[in-house]
Amino acid sequence: MAATHRIAAGTVIAAVCVASLAGCGTGADNSGEQARDQEKAKPAPAPKNVVRLIGDGSTAYTGAQPHLPRPERMKPGEKPPQFVVFSWDGAGEDSQRLFSHFRKVAKENDATMTYFLSGVYLLPEEKRDLYRPPQHSPGRSDIGFNDRRGIADTVEQLRLAWLEGNEIGTHFNGHFCGSGGGVGEWSVAEWKDEIVQAKSFVKTWKTNTGMKNAAPLPFDYDKELVGARTPCLEGQENFMKAARELGFRYDTSGVNNQVWPKKKEGLWDLSMQLVPFPGHSFEQLTMDYNFMVNQSGTTTQGDPAKHEMWGDQMRDGLLQGFERAYEGNRAPLIIGNHFQSWNGGTYMRAVEEVVESVCTRSEVRCVSFRQLADWLDAQDPAALAKLRTLGVGEAPKKGWKSFLADGPAPAPKGAPGSPAAKE
């Protein structure tokens, strides 16, 4: 079920329980975490148990998402937190149980993540003709579809992930790349159609599987879905035009340096980044697929004798990129992955070691893209503009207190990303 991920053409490769729904044993115990970092944002309290089914009951409104940090505007002269975003393309639970594994890793390390769900992972094989991909015949998908067991397992992980404060984005559906109808050739209208279908499969999985008595997903996907990563990092331009019109808030389909993000086409450009590639003179994209391609080519199971070394390269490259930002400009570090076992699962090991190494450190916040966008929206635009003047790894010469000393205006009431005022 895992989908491969290629970097966009033209980019250097070096550079992819309904009874108690809101309290489903999802790690509400945060004892021991408080002493780690007093500066980390305090999560909002879990909402009251309110369940209102939507449509056929595949999804439901259950109140505000629990365990989300409240975005706060930086004070004058305050050093920015170091954000790190771990994200997963085509997220689904299969026999490898990597979705459930990394949920556990995240909880143990004070992290939340973004899971980009492929809509066809909630569509059973026998209903494949319901998918009508742009520029392809009905029922076509380059990553296949799913079975009832796989759908049930994936829905369970999505439900628990959201209740733990993680984000559910989209990786769309059929994962078409390259020429001959690939996403890079799609029009704005075709992208809109693909997005509508991706939402539809999430909102009707009960009807399509016949599992009418199963617990719903605890969110309204029309409101939950605010960002995406395109297949193979292709088709970004037209996708962003469609996404803006459909109310998305960010995109992470590009390649960038480790600098502070800005808006593009009205969306936050939260592209993956280039980080050092140990043993090489060029830098590498922060995605498992791209490390693999530069190590074993397109062969997903290369020389076993090199697996450990390849995983160490990815881990150390990501850690070097982290340190460069942490000690330098504090730009958010954006990382992309797949639930896969390429080269013996060495990249999964590498990612896990990075999570364990960075997420509990002082002033570090391992968050979802939605949480990062919330924080960015809550900041003074002038302060963000100043942060964007810092180059890769560049710390303010006179220190943060001096660099951000100019007093930004207080956050206006009801500013985007700010929590609603209490009555």
Per-residue confidence at 406, pLDDT binned at 50, 70, 90? confident
- For 68, the token pair is 């989300």
Of 264, 295, 308, 335, give the one whose Cα is nearest residue 16: 335
Number of C-alpha atoms within 13 angstroms, CB side, residue 237?
Answer: 5
Q: What is d(CA 91, CA 414) in angstroms, rounded to the nearest whole number?
A: 33
What mean pLDDT, rounded, does the chain reach? Answer: 89
pLDDT tens digits, 264-307? 989 999 999 999 999 999 999 999 999 999 999 999 999 999 99
Assess contact for 257 and 99: CB atoms under 8 A: no
pLDDT tens digits, 29-53? 444 444 444 445 555 555 556 799 9
Assess whether pLDDT exceeds 70 at residue 210: yes
* Farthest CA pair distance, the chain: 63
Write down all domains in the chain, each with its CATH number in brackets.
Answer: 78-403 (3.20.20.370)
pLDDT tens digits, 176-197? 999 999 999 999 999 999 999 9
Using alpha carbons, list the distances in angstroms from residue 128 to 96, 139, 208.
24, 5, 10
The contacts of residue 55 (CB under 8 Å, 6+ apart) are 203, 204
pTM of the shown model: 0.85
The contacts of residue 139 (CB under 8 Å, 6+ apart) are 128, 129, 131
Assess whether pLDDT exceeds 50 at residue 348: yes
Task: Determine the pLDDT at residue 295.
Answer: 97
DSSP letter for each residue of 45-75: PPPP---EEETTTTEEE-SSPTTPBPP-PPP
Q: What is d(CA 181, CA 132) in angstroms, rounded to the nearest whole number?
A: 13
pLDDT tens digits, 88-132? 999 999 999 999 999 999 999 999 999 999 999 999 999 999 999
Task: Determine the pLDDT at residue 228.
Answer: 98
Task: Determine the pLDDT at residue 168.
Answer: 98
Q: Is the dihedral of CA 266, 250, 326, 80 positive or negative?
A: positive
Share of the chain above pLDDT 90, in %: 83
Task: Determine the pLDDT at residue 69.
Answer: 85
